[in-house]
Amino acid sequence: MVKKQRKQPSVRVAQKRQRARGEILAAARAILNESGPESVTLASVAGQLGMTKQSLYHYFSSKEALARDLVTTLLDEECESLLQAVNKRKAGKEVLGTVIQAFYSHYVDNLDAFRTVYCQSQLYSSSVRALDETTLREEIHPRTRHLFDVLEDRLARPGANKAERRRARQLAFTAWTSALGLMTMLSVAAANDDPIAHSEKALVKTLANAFDGAAGLAP
């Protein structure tokens, strides 16, 4: 007996579905901005859109599934923001400092977006987490890999050998994680209403200068 092949949705149906998912993610983002990550649930998003919770299951199977797409959307915005800032610089000119400053600028007024992307273990304490292994491998890693591919190219001198390119990539990764660490401290301080003793801008500048110096690019 020949098994019937499942009929593929038409382009029009696929586009309609994509638009609906986009509207749902926009509603989730609005709730995130207004009330924080914990408030982004299927029920709250459905209420924002005037839909039933059951209707959302046609597009997202669970809160975690919605969170996965929200995280990748926010990460796309971060990567685009960093790359736009870096591309305004000449290759090799203060690239690492620019990454740090752009990371800070992107998240400083939107700490809830930062927490959504980077604090999943705190947001999801159950065994089912938004950033499962498949999401990390297929959605997150390609995005961050592209970011570091670009940064490596911008840092490495023309004709650089493998060791030099590896060092450039390691410096880019370390600069990015340092910016992430600083933003984590600021996020914790804000959550506890306990501001850090140093000026945020001074800390960002210190990090930027340190990494530009490490790359041999400080003026």
- Domain locations along the chain: 7-61, 64-214
CA–CA separation, 59 and 47 (whole Å): 15
CA–CA separation, 89 and 84 (whole Å): 9
CA–CA separation, 219 and 212 (whole Å): 8
Question: Considering only CA atoms, which of 119, 107, 48, 112 is closest in space to residue 77?
Answer: 107
CB atoms within 10 A of CB 127: 5
Higher pLDDT, 80 or 94: 80
Question: Considering only CA atoms, which of 184, 27, 191, 185 is closest in space to residue 118?
Answer: 184
CATH topology of domain 7-61: Arc Repressor Mutant, subunit A (1.10.10)
| The amino acid at 84 | Q
CA–CA separation, 50 and 1 (whole Å): 45
Residue pLDDT, tens place only, 134-193: 888 999 999 999 999 999 999 998 899 999 999 999 999 999 999 999 999 999 999 889
Quote the pLDDT of residue 206: 96
| Domain range 64-214, CATH class | mainly alpha
| The amino acid at 179 | A
CA–CA separation, 22 and 176 (whole Å): 29
